[in-house]
Every structure is written in C-alpha cells, then in structure tokens.
Amino acid sequence: GPALLFVKTSQGKEEGRRFYACSACRDRKDCNFFQWEDEKVSETRLAAREEYNRNHQPSFTHRQNMDRYKNFILLPLSKRRFCQECQQLLLPAEWEKHSDHQFLCDITTAQLKSPSQLLYPLENKKTNAQYLFADRSCQFLLNLLLDLGFRRVLSVGTPRLHEMIQSKASQEEFNVRSLLLDIDFRYSQFYTEDEFCHYNMFNHHFFGGEAAHETCRKFLYEENGERVIMVTDPPFGGLVEALASSFKKLMAMWRETEKGGHENKEMPMFWIFPYFFESRILDFFPSFSMMDYQVDYDNHALYKHGKTGRRQSPVRIFTNLAPSMIVLPEEEGYRFCTVCQRYVSSGNQHCEICNSCTSKDGRRWKHCILCKKCVKPSWFHCNNCNCCTLQKHSCEKTDLGCFVCGKAGHKRSACPSLSCT
C-alpha cells in the first residue's frame, strides 16, 4: 500500500529532508523501498519496482483460497495436510511439489477453526510482531464485550479474538459477529471475504480494493440496534501517529454509515498497547482512558500473567468508554475505587493529594511533594535534575534536549518533527 512520509533530520536542526518509506516494515531488510520526496524516479526504476511487486504477490487470491478451502474440508482426515514451510493448506495434487517440506497431517475441523494455532506467528518486532492473546485475556475481552452489549466486533490485528468469536458463532445463544482486518494474508485460507479483509493498519490500506472497503463499511452499519466496537492490538514498535490516523479513518467510516446518527461521536474502541504510550495515545484521542487490566500473550516471553514487579505485562486497554463500565475480575486482584469510579489493580492505592489511583504498572506509587505528582517506588527526587528519577543516573544528561530538534521537554520518540503521515 501507500508509503509514509518521514523526515530525516540532524541534531539541533529543525529542517530536514523528507522521504517516503514502507509503512509496515521499519527494517530495510524486510522492505527496501526508499525514495526522497523531491526525487525524480526513472521509468526503468518504476518498471523494476512493479516487477518486484508482481513477483511478491501471494500464490492465490482470497477467492481462490476459499475455493481451495471448500475442497479441503471435503477430504477425508487422512488426506488433509498443511505445509509448515509454505504455511499453506495442501490439496492431494500438490503433495509432490511439497514432498521435501515439513508438513502436518490429519488436520481436524477444530484446527481449521483455530488458524492462529496452526500458523507460525510472525514475530519480527519491527514488521509483524504477531503476539497472540493468551486464552485468559481473550476470554476476558469477549466476556466484557458481551456484558457491554456489543454484537459486532471489528477485530483490527486481533486474530485470536476473531477466531474465538467465529468458533462460538454456531451456538444458538451466541449472536456476536466479527470482521478481521489484518496484514497477514495467510488468514484468507480460513475466512471468507465477509469475515476477513487484508488490511494495513499503518496506512488504512485495503488490499482488496473498493470491494473490501465496502465489506468493512457494511459491517460497521449498525443494523437492528447491533452495536459495533473496534478492538485493536497493533505491533508495539509501530508509529502511534500512523496508527491513530488509520483508526480515525475507520471511525469516520462508522460515523458516515447511513442512518447511523453518529455525527460528532466516536466509535467505541479498545486499543491494546503498553502503558508507557499513554501520553502519545491521549495526544490523538483525548477522550481515551487507560484501564489497569494486564493483557498477556501466549508467545511472548515477558508479557505473562502472574509475574510481579518489572516482569508484569505492561500491556493495557485504552478505551473511550466510561471507565466505570469496565468491570475487572476481582479474583485476579482488581478492586473498585469508589472515588475514581473505576476498577484498579489491588496495588494501585488512591492518592489523596492527586485525588486519583496513580499507579501505571500495578505497584504502589509514592507522591513527591516537589514534583507535585506520584512516581514509581524506585525513583528518588534529585535536586540537581529537579525531578524524580532512578537513584543511579547521570545528572549531566538532563541538560540535553531532543536528539532530533534539539529542544527540551520531550524525547526523540515523541518529537513532532520526526514523521509526517
């Protein structure tokens, strides 16, 4: 899809040279696209780029994958194979071509309904970072959505939540639907064009063109009072401003649906992201607030439930719903603060001075009179720096401004000159 416009700057200089680069891949090894904004590109180079794109298209279209899936489920169990190297369902006529590959045999219907467990997670932190919800977190999210009365879930980069909803869809009493928007085209082998759209959340690009865009628009139309919520779990290394731009466009699609009556409203949303991005998310969505619930993942070494201190999962739910509506499980260590009117972690004690439950990481924070705010328990006030920080730190570093623009008051990652979307 379309590239993003970035700025290459030198320390202390506000002006920089602008360039286009891949929206999804931050590592040039994964996608080497690079073009200066003011650069004239030759016809030869354009032709080479088109040829490269053609050679890197998926082997089958979404529709072809669906036709293959229909044939696959008609096969007896003994003839159902999945190539682990190509990450592809195999029909008997294709076995010979994959004879020297590793494959799984006897693929059951249950496995087909849980593709996130059949497919290898894409764990390149700079590109896909496909960490999958643990069952505990996934079930909590689904139960919460049901309790809040939502009957349609726009699952943006949340394949495990989508498949949990899909697997329950056949139950008579279960009336929730989900549409998965994801950059991982492998899911097109398992879901119809009404259940999955190949989508890049960093530039709001539907690879299926206008047809896929219309599928999403129709899904967002709240028919018969079926309320819609968007749940998204982006790669943590992704640019917040690019993600926010795409999410606002999805919200605009929802707002524009016929007879929706959504003028000047925001589509309900859960944005699942680490707590230390709170200020960046609130820059783009001031109506959002962060919940204390710790989201954990099956295939991430650190983000696991039950760990303590710095080993706890830092991943939280940011939402534009009223915090009092989000009920967190008391059996997992959450309690209701009557002053804040929201559920908080048991270690998150209410500060009478701040008049808020101030902890971000589950530990009890302490109030600093000089800083006029609560800080982490391991921080101490440094009179040289005139702020709270770790006890072992270098005071001379505090005089340095942002590496990009040279100004004080923010870090490189939050510099407004860093990128344009």
Dump pLDDT digits (tens) for 270-326: 999 999 999 999 999 999 999 999 998 886 555 555 555 456 788 999 999 999 999
pLDDT score of 158: 95
For residues 378-390, give the mean pLDDT: 91
Q: Global pTM?
A: 0.87
Distances in whole angstroms, Cα of residue 172 to Cα of each of 58, 140, 166, 225, 262: 36, 21, 13, 19, 30
Distances in whole angstroms, Cα of residue 295 to Cα of each of 128, 305, 388, 403: 18, 8, 28, 33
Which has the higher per-residue pLDDT, 270 or 46?
A: 270
Strands 269-274 and 227-232 turn out to be parallel
Residue 321's Cβ-side half-sphere holds a number of Cα atoms within 13 Å equal to 23
pLDDT score of 395: 82
For residues 85-102, give the mean pLDDT: 94
Residue 237 binned pLDDT confidence (cut-offs 50, 70, 90): confident
Q: Is the dihedral of CA 396, 397, 400, 401 positive or negative?
A: negative
- Rounded distance between C-alpha atoms, residue 190 and residue 185, angstroms: 10
- Rounded distance between C-alpha atoms, residue 189 and residue 115, angstroms: 9
- The packing angle between helices 240-255 and 209-220, to 10°, is 70
Which residues sit opposite 178 in a β-bridge? Answer: 153
Averaged confidence pLDDT in the chain: 87
17-21, 157-161, 225-229, 311-315: which is most confident: 157-161
Question: Could you tell me if 5 and 420 are in contact, meaning their C-beta atoms sit under 8 angstroms apart?
Answer: yes
Which residues sit opposite 6 in a β-bridge? Answer: 19, 419
Residue 21 has pLDDT above 70, yes or no: yes
pLDDT digits (tens, 9 = 90+) for 6-15: 888 776 666 7
pLDDT score of 398: 46
Of 163-172, 176-185, 190-199, 354-363, which range is least confident? 163-172
Of 74-78, 91-95, 359-363, which range is least confident? 359-363
- Rounded distance between C-alpha atoms, residue 271 and residue 364, angstroms: 25
pLDDT score of 312: 74
Residue 408 binned pLDDT confidence (cut-offs 50, 70, 90): low
Question: Could you tell me if 30 and 127 are in contact, meaning their C-beta atoms sit under 8 angstroms apart?
Answer: yes
Which residues sit opposite 313 in a β-bridge? Answer: none
Phi-psi region of 296 (alpha: psi -120 to 50; beta: other; left: phi over 0): beta
For residues 91-108, give the mean pLDDT: 94
Share of the chain above pLDDT 70, in %: 86
For residues 65-85, give the mean pLDDT: 96
Per-residue HEC secondary structure of 270-336 comes to EEEEEHHHHHHHHHHCCCCEECCCCCCECCCCCCCCCCCHHHCCCEEEEECCCHHHCCCCHHHCEEE
pLDDT score of 348: 92
pLDDT digits (tens, 9 = 90+) for 115-141: 998 998 775 544 445 678 888 999 999
Residue 76 has pLDDT above 50, yes or no: yes
pLDDT score of 126: 47
Per-residue HEC secondary structure of the chain comes to CCCEEEEECCCCCCCCEEEEECCCCCCCCCCCCEEECCCCCCHHHHHHHHHHHHHCCCCCCHHHHHHHHHHHHHCCHHHCEEECCCCEEECHHHCHHHCCCCEEECCCHHHHCCHHHHCCCCCCCCCCCCCCECHHHHHHHHHHHHHCCEEEEEEECCHHHHHHHHHHCCCCCCCCEEEEEECCHHHHHCCCCCCEEEEECCCCEECCHHHHHHHHHHHHCCHHHCEEEEEECCCCCCCHHHHHHHHHHHHHHHHCCCCCCCCCCCCCEEEEEEHHHHHHHHHHCCCCEECCCCCCECCCCCCCCCCCHHHCCCEEEEECCCHHHCCCCHHHCEEEECCCCEEEECCCCEECCCCEECCCCCCCCEEECCCCEEECCCEEEECCCCEEEECCCCHHHHHCCCCCCCCCCCCHHHCCCCEEC
pLDDT score of 259: 59
Which has the higher per-residue pLDDT, 17 or 158?
A: 158
Which has the higher per-residue pLDDT, 52 or 80?
A: 80
Residue 421 has pLDDT above 50, yes or no: no
Residue 250 binned pLDDT confidence (cut-offs 50, 70, 90): very high
pLDDT score of 11: 67
Cα 337 off chain centre by: 29
